[in-house]
Structure 1
């Protein structure tokens, strides 16, 4: 999980994931979308690959990167406990707001 969170902590890597969410892309295509040099993109792709967030498919001389959304399940499960906590608090707030409206009426 630490590797996943580390990979997600960088804005450029999140941009790469956003692009790959919509379609597979080569390193060159990803480099065009980022404000960093191609070697930097390659380093970001390595971090994402090592975290299990992307996979690479070789097509002759090209490497095509794909998102592995199943890798995000672990993060989603971890965040689920926090989501439940906030949902409970938001439900309580909604109840208090409704109670205040009834009392004013």
Structure 2
């Protein structure tokens, strides 16, 4: 314990401590990566149509499948309320 205490209490000469080249290279690499990511984000944001000028929300998405006119299945969000009385669950009194 005395070794760590002596390291913590030792005075460091500010004239002999200098930042190293490795720290400079890390900072420069982080700066370059930030600039490249910023430029790429700008390009991606330019591709987005915010105004809705080319609004094709009503048009179906192009795919290789033929267009189906079968409307028998209801959409996932349009399920109506279910009737729980239609299928009674058996109880112990029913099984006797």
TM-score (norm 1): 0.35
Larger radius of gyration: 2
Q: Greater share of strand residues, 1 or 2?
A: 1
Q: Greater share of helix residues, 1 or 2?
A: 1
The structure with higher relative contact order (CA 8 Å, sep 6+) is 1
